[in-house]
Structure 1
Amino acid sequence: MMPGLEVRRLGQPDVPAMTAFLERDAPNNLFLLANLAQWGISSPYLRYFGAFRQGELVGVLMFFRHSAGICWEDADALPLFGAIFQQASVTALSGCRRQIEPWMPFLPPAVPERTLHGVFAVLSPGDLRPWPARGERLATPDDVDTLVELYGRNLLFTYQAREEHRRRLLETLEAGGKIAFIERDGRAVSAARTSAIGHGMAMIGGVVTLPNYRGQGYATACTGLLSQELIASGHTPYLVYNPGDPAASRVYQRLGFQPYDEWIVMFWDA
C-alpha cells in the first residue's frame, strides 16, 4: 500500500519547490505562478496548500481573494483539496480542463451559476499583429473612477461592489498590473486589463465595451495595446475566450492569439 498524503498550508520555505512543480506546465499554471510573483506568499489575499507524498510535492491548491486554482499530479490529492475548497469562500475557479474536470466530483454540491468551456490562448511575442488605433491608452491611478463606472455599467455593481472594485483596480495598478482603455464623450467606454501578471506571463481579462460603442474595433485596440505593453515588459500575454462568441474569437485571432489548451471557468454566487 502506498503511503498516504500529507496536506498543509505552504509558506515561504516551500516557494522554491512549489515554483519548480508549477513550472512543469507554466502556462496552464499561470494564475498560480503569476499571483505568487506579483503578490508574494505572505500576501493576505493569497493562500497555497500543498499535497505531499513521502515529502515530495504532488499537488498545489491556490486561493486568491475569492478565486481558486489547482495543479495536481496525484489523484489522491483531489478529495483532500476538495474538503479544503468546500470550507473556503470561493466564487470562481479556473484552470486547464484536464486538471479541473477530474476534481469536479469533490467540489461543493451547489451547481455553479455559470460554467465556461473556453479556449486558453497565447500571443507569442513575434505574433502580435497591427490594429487600427482608436485613441487607446494605458490607465494610471487617476483613471480608476472612470474605469469603475465602465465596469459598473456593464456588470450592474451595487455600491458596495463598486467600491470594492475601485479598491482592486487601484491595487492592480499599484502592484504592476496594466489596464488599457478608450474614452469617448468624457468617459471610459472600452477597456482590457490584466487579471494576473508575473513570472514572465500575464492573463488578460476584463475586456469590455459599452453596448453603444461596440463594433468599432475598441476591444481590439485595447487588447492590442495591452498586449504590446506586456510583451515590451517581458510578459507573454494569455487569455481565455468563449469559442461560442464569434466576435470575441475574431478579435483575439486578428491580433495573433493562438489556441494553447482547453480551460474551464466556473462561477458561483457570492
Structure 2
Amino acid sequence: MIVKADDTLNQRIVDYLDEEKAMNLFILGDIENFGYKSDFQDIWVDIGNGGDIKGIMLRYFGNYLPYAKESINAEGFSKVIKDGPPLEMLSGKKEIVEQFQPVFSFTAKKDLYFAELEEKNFTMKGLGRDDLTYAAVDDADDIIEMHNSIKEFQRRETARESLVQTLTTKTGRSYFIKKDGKMVASAATTAENSRSAMVVGVCTHVDYRQQGLASRCTAVLCEDVLNEGKILCLFYDNPRAGSIYKRMGFQDIGMWSMYSK
C-alpha cells in the first residue's frame, strides 16, 4: 500500500534509506531540510502487509526520485506520478529507475557514474581562492545564463526556481570565477544536510576551458564542505571527467539514471 508520508514515519524512513545513505543523499537531505509539509516536496512510502517499508519516492518540484532495495512497485508509484505535478525527470539508482521504463514514454535517458569523496581520500587541499566568489541569490541569473550556454547541460523549466530555493535555504552553495566581466566557471552543491552534499553544476564557459578553472572551483568547494565533517557525492558520465574527480579522491560506488520526457 502506497501512502503519503508524514512526520510519524520519519524514523522508519530514515532507517530504511540509511542502508545506502550515499545513494539516498537527495532524499535524506530533502527530508532533513524541508520535512513533510512543503508545497514543492512530497514523500511517498510503499508499506507491506507486515508494516515494513518496501519502497520510497520523493517528489521535489518536477523531479521524482524512487528508491527500493531491489525491486520497486513501479506500477503503484507511477500512478502517484501521473496524479501529481508534471514529471520533468525521474532519477535514482539505475537498477530501480529502469523498472519504470515500461510505464512511461521517456524521450531522453542518461546513465551516470556515482562517486563519493571522504575527507581521508581528498588530495587537493590549499588551492588558491582569491578570485573565487561565494554565490548569492542575486547571482542566480548569471549562473543559469552560463549553464544555458553549455550544450552538455540539460535544461529544466524549474532550474532557476530550484537554484534560488537552494541558495535561499542554504541547502547548497555555489562558487564561481569571473573574467572579463562575465561568469566563466562554477561548481556547486545541492541537497546539503548535516552529513553530506552533492556536487553539481561543474562547468566552464567554452571560451575559457583548459585553464583548470572549474577544477579549482570544485576543489575549494569540496575542501570547505569536508571541513564541516560531511562527505561529498557527484555524478559524471565520461572518463575524462571521471579522471579529474578521481585525482581529487572521489571513488565510484554505483550508477545513477536520469530519465526525462
Indicate the TM-score class for this superposition, using the shorter chain for normalisation.
0.7 to 0.9
Q: Which amino acid aligns with 2:239?
A: P
Post-superposition CA distance 1:46-74 (Å, at most 9, x none): 10111111222211111111111111247
1:117 alignment partner, SS class: strand
Q: 1:246, 1:133 → 2: CA distance?
A: 26
Aligned to 1:169: 163
Deviation at 1:235, TM superposition (A): 2.1
Where do 1:91-170 residues align within 5 Å? 91-105=88-102, 107-108=103-104, 110-113=105-108, 115-130=109-124, 133=128, 135-154=131-150, 165-170=159-164
Q: Which amino acid aligns with 2:58?
A: M
More helix by share: 1
Q: Which amino acid aligns with 1:122?
A: E
Where do 1:189-208 residues align within 5 Å? 189-208=184-203
Q: 1:249, 1:97 → 2: CA distance?
A: 18
Where do 1:203-214 residues align within 5 Å? 203-214=198-209
Alignment match of 1:42 (pick from 33, 37, 43): 37
Where do 1:216-255 residues align within 5 Å? 216-242=211-237, 245-255=238-248
Relative to structure 1, is the Cα distance of residues 192 and 53 closer, same or farther in structure 2, using a 3 angstrom cutoff?
same
Task: Point out where structure 1 has 5 or more consecutive residues left out of the alignment.
Answer: 1-5
2:225 alignment partner, SS class: helix
Relative to structure 1, is the Cα distance of residues 239 and 77 closer, same or farther in structure 2, using a 3 angstrom cutoff?
same
1:225 alignment partner, SS class: helix
Deviation at 1:126, TM superposition (A): 1.6
Deviation at 1:195, TM superposition (A): 2.7
Task: Point out where structure 2 has 5 or more consecutive residues left out of the alignment.
Answer: none
Q: How many residues get paired?
A: 254
8 Å contact kept, 1:33–1:199: no
1:28 alignment partner, SS class: coil
Deviation at 1:167, TM superposition (A): 4.1
Q: 2:91, 2:162 → 1: CA distance?
A: 19
Aligned to 1:53: 48
2:256 alignment partner, SS class: strand
Q: Does residue 1:215 correspond to 2:210, yes or no?
A: yes
Q: Which amino acid aligns with 2:7?
A: Q
Aligned to 1:64: 60
2:19 alignment partner, SS class: helix
Q: 1:122, 1:213 → 2: CA distance?
A: 27
Aligned to 1:85: 81
1:84 alignment partner, SS class: helix
Deviation at 1:155, TM superposition (A): 6.2
Post-superposition CA distance 1:123-167 (Å, at most 9, x none): 11122222754733322234334323322333699xx95xx6444
1:197 alignment partner, SS class: coil
1:154 alignment partner, SS class: coil
Post-superposition CA distance 1:187-224 (Å, at most 9, x none): 21111112311141111111121100111111211111
1:205 alignment partner, SS class: strand
Q: 1:68, 1:237 → 2: CA distance?
A: 21
Q: Which amino acid aligns with 1:248?
A: A
Post-superposition CA distance 1:98-130 (Å, at most 9, x none): 22223433x31x2332x2221100011122222
Aligned to 1:3: none
